[in-house]
Chains A and B, each alone.
Chain A
């Protein structure tokens, strides 16, 4: 058992190192520049709008860049191993195919963890810089307006508290965790598809399509679970497949609600993280089964 774990971690470590040698860091720098530029881009907007837009943009950029990295790194992994023939060297050793899949997936998960962490650091720095700019400009505005002293104090304190509450909201951490969970699900989907296909481009396109369909999976599930819905057998079978196999990506829109200030409890977040862990476990088990059947 311990040897199996060691083999998995060795594979995960190698996968992470290989990925880090690629141009992922360049993308991160690009992200950082875009994120910093955002505050300037929205500088004409109202103070509370700026924070909302910054949160939206940063979570959006984390999702897009993360999605891109998750898709590319996972989809090209097995085809690259096959092309370079390194897979034969690995599987010639006492490494099970399931260990190979789990190790490779954990490598991608670690890579996504590093990427998300770096993006989050830049994101939080930008957010706090913007918050300080907003507080300073509002204070200056109130000072110039000639508001009575008591109201002035209340206005400045309330504004400072509101801006800081937005910029240092613990829910941002929940949002980052959910973005990470979403990316891990995408990587798991890509892993399943890459075990049955030979083309990385096909894997990228199909996974992205499934990701998009995942945002409408709830409708398919409603149809499947509601016996009163009037659909033909073919439509119902198709919708059943979608509901059964594709994850519900729409539930991750909780991130948007956080940005709008809606209270998203930790129970909800843990529920989503638990769901993600369950889906990933099943997807990787499926990928292992499919890969064990594959002719190399």
Chain B
């Protein structure tokens, strides 16, 4: 048998095998110079790869930070102790939203068990994990200012009524504080403004602040038309008729036309007329239709 190097590939091998051999030679030629310094090639690729990679990442991070992503609130040592290893791995595996939802379920379960300290710590964890979610701030504040506060007020284990009222007030203020913190991070949230306004109106008995918050909410995109009417009604019912009239005038001036059915302008006009009469506003200073 002849040695392999003696075979004349072009003339003696079948056509398809010769073509395949030809192609292999072409592949070898193509790969040839690259085989000389493999480690150098890899190093070169890494250098060429790293610089644009880092620049792209910096640009993406900057644009995301500008859009308010990656925000995280302060984490205290007692909260850190509640973040288990599994939780941390889940957060690092890109499941932050799911972990936050898990702790939110814990809020609901703690509420059912009336375990208020655990509930508060779970609320803090969820708001820490997803500070851009107005739901957590709003509902968390509502739990504290309403559910916990009322439960504490009715807690007969504390014999002193004065002390119970003080504890109730403490929880209402804690709820208010939580919602305020949420508003600092989510200033565009209509729902959070409304929830805080309700808290001021119903729990802190502060209609002026409530009206201000309702007004702020009504100016935000996505607000319902009836939110615009609430400050006027709240101020009038609180006996602050001049302030109510000032509000209605502002609202009237803010709109060019007064035909939008959703706004219920006839009702607003009736309110204005009633207040103008009651406050003896001169005819010349009254709103013209």
Contact = CB atoms under 8 A, between A and B. Distances in A.
B58 A60 contact: no
B27 A94 contact: yes
Contact of B38 (A94, A255, A262, A293): A293
Contacts of A138: none
Nearest to B30: A96
A275 interface: yes
Interface string B25-39: 001001100110010
Interface of B: 20, 23-24, 27, 30-31, 34-35, 38, 41-42, 45-46, 49-50, 52-54, 56-61, 63-64, 67-70, 89, 91-98, 100-101, 104, 108, 130, 132-133, 135, 139, 224-226, 261-262, 264
Given A253-B94, A278-B52, A289-B38, A158 B63 contact: no
5 contacts: A60-B97, A248-B60, A256-B97, A286-B46, A293-B38
A158 to B, nearest CB: 5
B57 to A, nearest CB: 5
Nearest to A45: B108
B57 A251 contact: yes
A17 B34 CA distance: 33
Given A94-B20, A244-B46, A289-B45, A225 B58 contact: yes
Given A63-B94, A256-B97, A286-B45, 20 more contacts: A53-B101, A53-B104, A55-B97, A94-B23, A96-B31, A150-B261, A211-B93, A216-B92, A250-B70, A254-B64, A255-B94, A256-B96, A257-B67, A257-B68, A264-B67, A268-B63, A274-B56, A275-B57, A278-B53, A292-B31
Main DSSP-derived SS at the A contact region: helix
A46 interface: yes
B24 to A, nearest CB: 5
Contact of A212 (B93, B100, B101): B93
A265 B58 CA distance: 18
Nearest to A281: B49
Nearest to A41: B105
Shortest beta-carbon contacts, A-B, top 4: A56-B97, A60-B98, A282-B49, A94-B23
Interface string A24-59: 000000000000000000001110110011011101
B20 A93 contact: yes
A268 B66 CA distance: 11
Contacts of A154: 224-226, 262
A198 B158 CA distance: 68
A244 B53 contact: yes
Interface of A: 44-46, 48-49, 52-53, 55-57, 59-60, 63-64, 67, 93-94, 96, 150-151, 154-155, 158, 182, 211-212, 215-218, 221, 224-225, 243-245, 247-257, 259-260, 262-264, 268, 271-272, 274-275, 278-279, 282, 285-286, 289-290, 292-293
Contact of B94 (A243, A252, A272): A252
A262 B60 contact: no
A253 B68 CA distance: 12
B45 A285 contact: yes
B97 A259 contact: yes
B24 A94 contact: yes
Contacts of B261: 150
A282 B44 CA distance: 12
A244 B42 contact: no
A94 B49 CA distance: 29
B224 A158 contact: yes
A150 B93 CA distance: 48
B227 to A, nearest CB: 10
